Chains A and B, each alone.
Chain A
Amino acid sequence: MDTIRITEADFKVQQEYDWLCENNSVDGAVVFFVGRVRDFSKNEKVLAIFLEHYPQMTERSLQEIITNARQRWQLGKVAVVHRVGRILAAEQIVFVGVTSQHRENAFSAANFIMDFLKTQAPFWKKEITPEGEHWVEAKASDQDKARHWR
């Protein structure tokens, strides 16, 4: 069972964790990752970010990433929650949670989903600093991480 949510509102990790565990007594492993807004980037203070996305494609792209993860590993539930809009420094951006019978599959799948989310899902970050706003450049290292799964 998958849940994919794109939301302007913040999420509660406990609620997402509870959903992963609900009606699920077969999975012994739950792995989750939370991405947050750092207050520094390239020696510049970051006050907030603005996250734009491409509605319809975002959900489709995340579903495809989850489907690919399910083809590689035996997984129970998968939850991906990604915020959009204005997000302040230190706030949460993304939640990826995976359950499986054993931890190796859950760790690997959570990592895989994040690597592809960062390189395939149509989200774009703009950093808001005291000096102004600028779009964030994609990192080659993120491309490399996604490529190593192929």
Chain B
Amino acid sequence: MADVKIRFFARLRDQLGVSDMALLMSDVANTEEIIPHLLQTHPHWQKFFDAPLLMAVNQQLVNEPTELVAGDEVALFPPVTGG
């Protein structure tokens, strides 16, 4: 099965100590499944995922659970602070 790429940015990346990961489509068919799946292998990440986070699929912000397809890039990051 092809992979879904997960990227982390800014404070979240610093907290997790990792900038990107590859997950299997069989584990994460929907964006809703990503955080629970990551917590299975990294339970100590819970406190970092409790903070407000935004999610983008293929460089577009998503607010609703979104179906994933092979090759998708999902990004998780804190609320933005540019400008």
Listed in ascending order, the chain A residues whose CB lies under 8 Å from chain B are: 35, 51-54, 56-57, 60-61, 82, 93-94, 114, 117-126, 135-138, 143
Contact = CB atoms under 8 A, between A and B. Distances in A.
A136 B79 CA distance: 10
Nearest to A83: B82
Contacts of A122: 9, 56, 75, 77, 80, 82
Given A57-B59, A60-B60, A124-B9, A118 B78 contact: no
Contacts of B80: 118-124, 138
Interface residues of B, number: 18
Contacts of B83: 35, 82, 93-94, 114, 117-118, 121, 123
B61 interface: yes
Contacts of B52: 138
A52 B75 CA distance: 14
A126 B61 CA distance: 22
Interface of B: 7, 9-11, 14, 52, 56, 59-61, 75, 77-83
B79 A52 contact: no
21 contacts: A35-B83, A51-B82, A54-B9, A54-B56, A54-B59, A54-B75, A57-B56, A57-B75, A93-B83, A118-B83, A121-B80, A122-B75, A122-B77, A122-B80, A124-B9, A124-B11, A124-B77, A125-B81, A137-B81, A138-B80, A138-B81
A92 to B, nearest CB: 12
